[in-house]
Amino acid sequence: MSAKSTASSVTIASSVAEATRAVVQEFLAARAAGDTRRLVALFADEVDWLLAENPAAPWIRPRSTAAECAAQFAELMEHTVPEDARASVDTLLVDGTDAVLMGRLAGTVRVTAKSFEGPFALRLTVEDGRITRHHLYENSASIAEACTP
């Protein structure tokens, strides 16, 4: 491989990673603002959604369409106390079309007034400017406990 083709490959990979990072930043901003319409536009028509089912938490369920994925935020806000919701991202890694965010999240369930908190990892894949994969790993035991009366 020539130095020219190597440089070209690095430039292409860099621009793909930059585009992925931009969509992830836009996703975080839309999520923080509660902008469901913008979230729908950011998700692809079909999404590979993974979040361990949790029968105790009504906002945690299978999803696959852009509208279903975007609605997760609104459903979360319906069942939790918005003023108590906290999320922090301390790591954002981007490699091509994939991004991994790590941090902590916390909240309080409305019905029980119990709190949950813990670390999370979120893997997103961005293709053609839209999120095609959303895999969230979180402290589901803490959430289930907070949802249980």
Q: Residue 11: is it exposed, middle or buried by C-beta count within 10 angstroms (0-12/13-18/19+)?
A: exposed
Say what the pLDDT of residue 144 is: 93
Say what the pLDDT of residue 93 is: 98
Say what the pLDDT of residue 4 is: 56
- d(CA 62, CA 48) in angstroms, rounded, equals 10
Looking at residue 34, the DSSP 8-state letter turns out to be T
CA angle 44, 84, 145 (to 5 degrees): 85
Q: Residue 126: is it exposed, middle or buried by C-beta count within 10 angstroms (0-12/13-18/19+)?
A: buried
- d(CA 8, CA 80) in angstroms, rounded, equals 48
Asked if 132 and 48 touch (Cβ cutoff 8 Å), the reply is yes
Say what the pLDDT of residue 55 is: 86
Say what the pLDDT of residue 119 is: 98
Token representation of residue 75: 């459903």
Say what the pLDDT of residue 53 is: 85
Q: For the chain (length 149 residues), average pLDDT per consecutive 10?
A: 57 88 97 92 96 88 92 91 94 98 97 97 98 96 94
Q: Determine the structural domain holding residue 86 and report its residue range.
A: 3-147
CA angle 94, 100, 106 (to 5 degrees): 140
- d(CA 72, CA 18) in angstroms, rounded, equals 26
Question: What is the tally of structural domains in the chain?
Answer: 1
Say what the pLDDT of residue 51 is: 92
Strand, coil or helix: 97: coil
Strand, coil or helix: 113: coil
CATH of the domain at 126: 3.10.450.50
